[in-house]
Each structure stands twice: as structure tokens, then as C-alpha cells.
Amino acid sequence: MKRLSTLIILVFVAHTAQAEYAGPSNVPAMTVKQLLDTGTDDQYATLHGRLVSHDGGKHYTFADDSGKLRVEIEPQLLPAGQTIDAKTRVEISGEFDKDFGEAEELEVKQIKVLP
């Protein structure tokens, strides 16, 4: 019985960890170029575009019509049951990491497949 209870708790925790807010946001969508040109460290940003390559581990290259940006996506954030390839339009939101002397990247907190 104890093992079953532990399993139920694990399933509940895994399920609730994938919940996401779907309402309006005060964070306006911007382009990669706008983020790279004007973004500040730890700024929250939303981008629309495509994941054009998987660069190993949690790292991907994201692109829109204005440019490319390295992004970090935890595997559990990828939509379950949906295939994402270089043609799939997505919306990503996360925290911009702009450290001096290092590559700029967006640490993705949420990803949605766009219609």
C-alpha cells in the first residue's frame, strides 16, 4: 500500500508540474533583434519563431525573421505528445541572460506550439 501511495504522489506531482498559465500577459512579444539590442540581464521576454536546431543537452537555437538566439529549455517544458521541428512555430517566454563575456541566451520558462 505504501508503494502505491508513493506512486500516486509522484504522478500527481509530475502532472501539476506541467500546468501553465494561459491567460493574458503584460510581457509583450518582441523579436530576437529587439531582445539582443535592448534586453537587460534577467529581463523577462516572450518571442515567436522556431527552434531551428538542437545544440545538445538543454540548448537549442531559436530563430525569427530578425535573427537567432541560443535558448535553454528543460526537457519537461517541451509539450508532451507534440513533435517540434524546425518548421513548427512556437512561443517561448523566459528570462534573458546577458552576462558580459559570455553568450547571451534565454532561459525558457514556458513554451507553446502556435497554430
pLDDT in tens, 9-38: 433 444 444 555 555 567 789 999 999 999
Cβ–Cβ under 8 Å, residues 74 and 29: no
Q: What's residue 77's pLDDT? A: 97
Q: What percent of the chain has pLDDT over 70?
A: 77
- Tell me what percent of the chain is helix, strand and coil, each rounded to the nearest 5: 25, 40, 40
Cβ–Cβ under 8 Å, residues 29 and 48: yes
Q: What's residue 27's pLDDT? A: 77
Cβ–Cβ under 8 Å, residues 42 and 96: yes
Between strands 89-97 and 44-56, the pairing is antiparallel
* Whole-number Å distance between alpha carbons of 46 and 43: 10
Average pLDDT over residues 55-62: 97
Query: 67 pLDDT exceeds 60?
Result: yes
Q: Give the residue, 34 or 98, on which the prediction is more confident.
A: 34
